[in-house]
Chains A and B, each alone.
Chain A
Amino acid sequence: MKVVIVGCGRVGAVLAEAFEKAGNDVIILDRSTGAFDKLPSTFRGNAVRGDGTDEDVLRRAGAQDADVFLALTEGDNRNVMAAQLATEALNVGRVLAKVNDPVRAAAYADLGLATICRTNLMEDTILGFAGLSTAQRPPILAPQRTHPGGEHHRAEAEPAAAPSEA
């Protein structure tokens, strides 16, 4: 299984190692090489320095046709964009974006992107720990519909419908 991880933070590094140990083909990207220090020396996956929101960089790293794509950088928007790139341009099977802003996490789940929200996760977990009732949200917000790429292509095909009140 080919796994692409964008963002070699604490979580990215741990996951990269785990996927690799499980015998997967792991590609991990980060904008700074320093981030790869978090990887164990035994890591034999592909660590690529580069912007995960740049299609070229992703292709060069060999991210197309991956089975799993995880966008785990610190920037919500970068994750969202990388994940959408993966969905739309790289023909990736399962895509997950980490989005810490609960509003955006929910919005993109609605829009057809699987998201994981650290804020929600921690809130629920900690409230549960404290014995309070929680919202019972699933840890990963599953996409509510297919990603909207095609829809907008159709809209583009009809330029007359576009508003022109400038």
Chain B
Amino acid sequence: MIGGRRPLAGRKLADRRVRVERPHAPFFRYTGPGQLVAREAASMPTTPAGRFAARLKKIAIGRPLASEEEIGERLSKKKALAIFSSDAISSSAYATEEILRVLVLAGAGALLVSIEISIAIAVLLAVVALSYRQVCRAFPNGGGAYAVARSELSPLLGLIAAAALLIDYVMTVAVSTSSAVDQLISIAPALNALRIEFAIDSITLITIANLRGLRESGNIFAVPTYMFVGLALVIVASGVFHIITGQATPLPRQPEAVSFGTETLGVFLLLKAFASGSVALTGTEAIANGVPAFKPPEARNAANTLTVMAVLLGVLFVGVTVVAHAYDIVPSRDGSGGPTVIALVAGTAFGSGPLFYVFQLATALILFLAANTSFNAFPRLAAILAEDGYMPRPFGFRGDRLAYSWGIIALAAIAAALLVYFGGITTLLIPLYSVGVFVCFTLSQLGMVRHWLRLRESGWAWRTAINASGAILTAVVLVVVASVKFTSGAYLVVILIPMQVAVFLFIRRQYEASREKLTVRGDFVVKPPHREERVVIPIPTINRAVVQAVNVARSISDDVRAVFISDDPDAAAELRERWERQVPGVPLVVVESPYRALVGPMTAYLDVLDRAWPPDKEAPITFVVIPEYVARNWWERILYNQVARRLRTALLGRPHTVVVNVPYRREEATTPEPEGPGP
């Protein structure tokens, strides 16, 4: 960069020095020969409006972070537990309720089975958690089910896993948000009317928090998670204490309670209850997907966090179910605004004292947190998919705050749409949820089995056993969930996954195709251009914009001609006279267009030029230099350049043709043209 130099005198007569200005300094920084790094100021907008927008953005999502600042965004185990496990742990806030909802169909007596079902689910959880601990170790780069299935099974299975995962993440946001709203309604039933608005607002808030970047999310959300976990443990402990001491007495039914059904407690109903309850497992995979966000040693920290999370979840889920049963708690009707099961359970410990409200608030918050988990995981997976060419590239770009902005916004949009569609009612969303989750579980377990069989590291046998049993169990559950819930929404997932996979493959093929066309072979040396060049300038009249365009044209080639398309022969003659006098050396071609068309004759003229080119010579590159007046505001934009725009569109696909816009800014010249009278 060349800067001005200012001579300065020194104290002594002959001491001179020269100050060298550094024009690059505010915008760039040298890091090596011929290598610049753009500073924040370089991407600052230069217009007042742009600057204002940037300032708003800065207020909303914070100052941009440089890529090097990422290492500071790594999570400690405590923060990671808050962020990643909230998904799983928070499901204890609604999983029990989902079991009960199925069982009430078989009458009050059937509720007893809920404990057995919850224990069965806890066992399943233990197996899955053990399996995923191994995933953390084997795939420290994250990606979870997708990475495992893709590298260990087949790309197609990987894509299926990815599709399932994406659905899972979207559903997590939808379910958690709606459940959180349920919790808030439990303490403030008046909110019931605003259920959807409330949910959407929450998603917006979480979106903004995430656009600000990962570290701050950790800080924002750590407190409620630990508060929920702490209070929930207190509730379970007090409930168990009451059961042991025989103080647990059935609560009176709340007015919104569902009425008991009369179905018989058959295998189908049991399986259905199990399938509904298995929603407790959702989110278990989050940690395995987010391993790179951990502080080093990443894999080890992630695996340990996973264990802590699974134990907490198991204890809370089973505990809540046991307490709920002991107090004979029955869920409220869908969308009635009645208290949730977890709220009723909390009431057994805290009554309606302040702690009850604190707990409900914490529950709502941890559910929002759970939604937030997806905001971490979804964009990450989308970015990995984008890198592999299965998703549009912008999903792989990180925004000012190092967050994958596109992924975050896409997730928020889809989840919000789902919420609106289902009226914000949690139960209706659940069937869509579980299927996707279990597809992932099964695929990643299978992948791990392949992994151990392939590598045969020490202890591969028992590791295989763990993953194989996990795979079988989750596969069975998957089949059960999909079949028993097929009619109540699971079918959607069955359709959605293949559709998504098809889209992935389509995008990939597009990228592959364009890459193939654009690729330059590694051994190809670019030679100086050898094609001849000629320039055509379509002109509307003689004005400064045209003069400037002519100057540009002459710098491109000596073969320059101006083309004037006119429907008025007199005007054409006048222009020709003026042109030859004022722009000597550039031949003017007047095309009379009796039908007043403009673009057509222009392209036709270019065709004729091409045809006139000697066939034995390589076709020349034709530059079409379009003089353009730069509009300064919206109405000028309407007034000017409409023809230029149409012409540009018409020429876009023409072979060997380059369209050059020569913008003319009015500010550039302040003195009027000194030359003679114009037409």
Direct contact of A and B (CB under 8 A): no
